[in-house]
């Protein structure tokens, strides 16, 4: 398989995974929508990795080198997309963390106050 055809197949596979993830995000949960780039880039990396390991190459062709370069580029973009999704998830849930911490602090203060009242009686 030539590199141009592999790019076309990989791009169509990534688009298919994106459409499936978007459909699941609309029907099941909106949390899937923020992971669309992660899933599609991951499928691209897996495709090129399988192509690299299970395709036979001519010793003269540059397809092997191009596949490795494509895997490296996709992995870099994949890690950036994953980091972005994690940061978005943490920022969205910060209010929940703050509320939880405030409840814990108030309950600890109440326990401390109750112990002090028992001690003085």
- Please report whether residue 14 resides in a domain: yes
d(CA 37, CA 82): 8
79 in a domain, yes or no?
A: yes
What residues make up the domain containing 83?
3-93
More confident residue, 49 or 94: 49
- Per the domain annotation, does 98 fall within a domain? no
Residue 13 inside a domain? The answer is yes
Q: Give the tens place of pLDDT for each residue, 2-60.
A: 778 888 888 899 899 989 988 988 888 777 788 888 989 999 999 888 888 877 666 66
Looking at the 3D structure of the chain, how many domains does it have? 1
Answer yes or no: pTM beyond 0.75: no
Asked whether residue 118 carries a pLDDT value surpassing 90, the answer given is no
Residues 6+ apart with CB under 8 A from 52: 64, 67, 68, 71
Residue 102 domain-assigned (yes or no) = no
- Asked whether residue 11 is domain-assigned, the answer is yes
Whether 60 is covered by a domain: the verdict is yes
- 35 in any annotated domain: yes
């Amino acid at each position: 398989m030539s590199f141009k055809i592999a790019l076309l197949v990989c791009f169509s596979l990534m688009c298919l995974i994106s459409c499936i993830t978007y459909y699941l995000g609309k029907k099941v949960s909106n949390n899937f929508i923020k992971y669309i780039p992660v899933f599609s880039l991951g499928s691209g990396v897996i495709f090129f990795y399988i192509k690299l390991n299970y395709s036979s190459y001519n010793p003269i062709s540059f397809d092997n080198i191009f596949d490795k370069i494509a895997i490296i580029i996709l992995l870099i973009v994949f890690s950036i997309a994953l980091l972005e999704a994690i940061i978005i998830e943490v920022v969205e849930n910060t209010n929940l963390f703050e509320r939880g911490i405030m409840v814990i602090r108030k309950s600890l203060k109440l326990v401390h106050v109750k112990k002090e009242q028992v001690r003085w009686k």
